[in-house]
A = this chain, B = another copy of it.
Amino acid sequence: MTPSLEVLDIDPKPTLNPYSVNSIKNEDGDKNDLVLKVFRCLIADLCEQFKGGHPGGAMGMAAIGVALWKYVMRFSPRNPSYFNRDRFVLSNGHTCLFQYTFMHLVGYDNMTLDQLKSYHSKRVDSLCPGHPEIEHEGIEVTTGPLGQGVANAVGLAMASKHLAAIYNQPGFPVVDNMTWCMIGDACLQEGVALEAISLAGHWKLNNLAIIYDNNQITCDGSVDLANTEDVNGKMRASGWNVIDVFDGVFDVNGILEALITSRASDKPTFVNVRTIIGVGSAVANNAKAHGAAFGSEAVANMKKSFGMDPEAHFVIPDTVYEYFHEVRSRGARYEANWNSLVASYAKSHPQLAREFNLRVRGKMLDDWSKYIPSKESFPTGPTPSRKSAGIVCNPLAQNLKNFMVGTADLSPSVNMIWKDKVDFQNPELKTACGINGDYSGRYIHWGIREHAMASISNGLAAFNRGTILPITSTFFIFYIYAAAGIRMGALQGLHQIHIATHDSIGTGEDGPTHQPIALPSLYRSMPNLLYIRPCDTEEVAGAFIAALNATSTPSIISLSRQNLPQYPAHTSRDGVQLGAYVFSEQTGAEVTLIGVGAEMVFAVETRDILAKEYGIKARIVSFPCQRLFDQQSREYQQEVLQYRADRPIVVIEAFAINGWERYADAGVSMSSFGKSLPGGTAYEHFGFDGKVIAPKVKALVEKVRKEGVRCLRGNFRDLNGIMGYGFEH
């Protein structure tokens, strides 16, 4: 039996809310007024206690908060992780007290008044950090760096749209939540938000609303100092529905009407709400209200003008709690109704429901390991590792619906397309402009928007941990555009894989703009991120295995444009899991060469020339991932690197050397930008050539024969002589 919507209390849009707009006006007008005053004084008090924080925005947005938390948002305070909840993103994360305080008022269990007061305190267990953090119940994504939240919200809305397209059935809207994204003036200026806005319009994500706290004030003063464009016009041109609310300070009903309309829109909606920063305070409508406490006298004056007791602090009358009282029970009802909907769904659509429940629990839909091809199946001739990545990833993407794979407009270069892939697209585009795809599609054309690609992917991954695994792809150097987004993924422990091709000077003719030198240093240093640089197809398989196992960590897999020799007798997917391993052992070796990724070929060349020309024996360590190696036991590390007083270690990699000094005594590296030359010629130009490297290593070995490795301490040598540094002692 198909349950009716009425029975389930999963209300049709837009009459979801228990109150009609008019009834609120009549019954709640006075209460609204009191709640707004109490809320605003509370924010001022919370900032006053430690003389810091961001009061102004939160105060200005109070009426928006009432509309959202009391009326519009579907959520359950007693179970903040209830799957089909509306998602709320505070992109202007510095106004976090706005969210924390409403969470307290509507009864999130952990958000006690005591916790609220921990804002800006020394409490290590505070749930109220200076910006919202995903680790805490009820927070969907960590925000703070401006613009990111907009992109995250687009990702959350995509995730919902996508799951709905796959799993919803007539009468069974098992995924139909809305994403609400609160922004300030700043978010509308950041490029990452502008990219994401463009995509949301393109995809027609009508389950997304941006609520713009339009107070026209930023840190420097009036927004007019730096922005005088027609914001609504831009949003409309970007494919958004625009609704204006002219009194956002007091008119809860007006806001409510706009939000209810948003839920029924056929496009993403931009609700432009005029507010006043720090409203009611002496610094209302002034940049001073943004990021500093008002001072105790000013707070007292504000309370007086509100008709409240200037001496009383953190006052929340019972009537205010009562005002929000129903939210918890309504939330419990939403949750219960959804549970019962899913239970009926399981009866009507058992197979789909089984899969859906796995997704809800964040499980992979199948054992991914069986789709990783065996070493025997790999090409034995020269192969670009970007092609290897396709060989490994395409079967995974084809077979595992968890995978959503996309590219910043480099489909022909990154090889991430699998057989019969379907694009994630607005299905209306088929008739409108012949673009195939629909919301069930799992291949994403991000356009040339690397930053949004990474930051929207954070939203995709954050929708429900494990439900969607975003794979992004572009040339490695263009991940510098996405760095702020990738960092936010690492900070939030989101599972993602970034496919970074064309990763060295070997990229060739495109020249120095396209040849990364310093970027690996950023990603190797970044906490909770794996930067993995495999040297052949077997190591690419290993890189994917490592990245798939690291479920709370994003990974970057760094790949070559150019052909690389394959080393089936030497390389090992298991070795990759350990970060580094012995690629070729050699009794009596006088030097250890570290080979990395696309430049492994030069380590092998050097070893062979050293043996043939100079009678010097060398061993080679393959070193695809520093972070993984650092996690191994000391015993294993010593087994691999075998530090000895008579044997130097030389790393060969065409990036900046910074960080390799931890493992090696000398290196062949890059300290200048690259050059536009054919790939092989570019390598030669910068001395990456066994014939050039071998005599330099020979000289080093001879020095160490005489003086021991200790002569190299404080004397790290760039054997290319480009980055001459160090001294003898």
Contacts and interface: CB of A to CB of B under 8 A. Distances in A.
Most interface-central of A53, A186, A232, A527 (chain B CB within 10 A) = A527
B218 A409 contact: yes
Contacts of A675: 124, 129
Copies held by the complex: 2
Contacts of A131: 510-511, 513-514, 676
Contacts of A429: 224, 228
A433 B228 contact: yes
Interface string A445-469: 1111101100000000000000000
A230 interface: yes
A228 B222 contact: no
A519 interface: yes
A121 B678 CA distance: 7
A695 interface: no
B287 A412 contact: yes
Contacts of A220: 407, 409-412, 445
A685 interface: yes
Interface residues of A, number: 143
A512 interface: yes
A534 interface: no
A555 to B, nearest CB: 15
A237 interface: yes
Interface stretch (A6-14, A172-180, A481-489): A481-489
Interface stretch (A81-89, A331-339, A707-715): A707-715
A145 interface: yes
Contacts of A727: 634-635, 637-638, 643
A481 B190 contact: yes
A222 B143 CA distance: 34
Interface string A496-514: 0000000000001111111
A316 interface: no
Given A423-B225, A513-B93, A728-B634, A525 B487 contact: no
Interface in A393-425: 407, 409-413, 423, 425
What are the 5 tightest A-B residue pairs by CB atom distance, in nearest-first order? A191-B191, A634-B727, A226-B447, A233-B237, A144-B513
7 contacts: A120-B678, A146-B448, A202-B227, A519-B522, A528-B673, A637-B726, A643-B727
Interface of A: 50, 52-53, 93-94, 120-122, 124, 126, 129-131, 133, 142-147, 185-187, 189-195, 198-199, 201-202, 218-222, 224-234, 236-239, 287, 291, 407, 409-413, 423, 425, 429, 432-435, 445-449, 451-452, 477-478, 480-481, 483-484, 487-488, 490-491, 508-514, 517-519, 521-528, 630, 634-635, 637-638, 641, 643-645, 649, 655-659, 661-663, 670-673, 675-678, 681, 685, 709-710, 713-714, 716, 723, 725-729
